[in-house]
Amino acid sequence: MKRTESVLQRSRQCWVCGKRDPLEEHHVFYGTANRMKSERYGMKVYLCPEHHRAQPEGVHGGNRELDLKLKRFAQMRFEQMFGHELFMKVFGRNWLDQEEAWQ
Ligand SMILES: [Zn+2]
Ligand SMILES: [Zn+2]
């Protein structure tokens, strides 16, 4: 599959803390189907290993707050470019409308 550029980040650094090396690529909407869609629409950011996988501060390490923050940010950017209707069609879930997201 053709790799796309991130539409969420221009510089190659951790989206959270700004560290530059080492970095891992994170697909904001992950899981089997969503990962491919994230790739297709550039819904990805660079994260340092701590903010990517470490517990509890990593997005895959149980940091739910960071996970939601990234998803809301990505959805907003997507909708600025393509609109809400397409977002719902592609990802099927509205992260901006979740009460838990604002706690
Ligand atoms: Zn970091
Ligand atoms: Zn990831």
Q: What is the pLDDT of residues 3-51, one digit of tens each?
A: 789 999 999 999 999 999 999 999 999 999 999 999 999 999 999 999 9
Measured distance CA(102)–CA(100) in Å, rounded:
5
CA of 30 to the centre of ligand 2 (A): 7
Residue 103's pLDDT is 43
CA of 59 to the centre of ligand 2 (A): 7
pLDDT, tens digit, for every residue of 57-71? 999 999 999 999 999
CA of 85 to the centre of ligand 1 (A): 32
CA of 79 to the centre of ligand 2 (A): 22
Q: How far is CA 70 from the centre of its chain?
A: 5
What ligand has the least distance to the C-alpha of 50? 1
* Tokens describing residue 69: 């923050």
Measured distance CA(67)–CA(77) in Å, rounded:
16
This model's pTM is above 0.75: yes
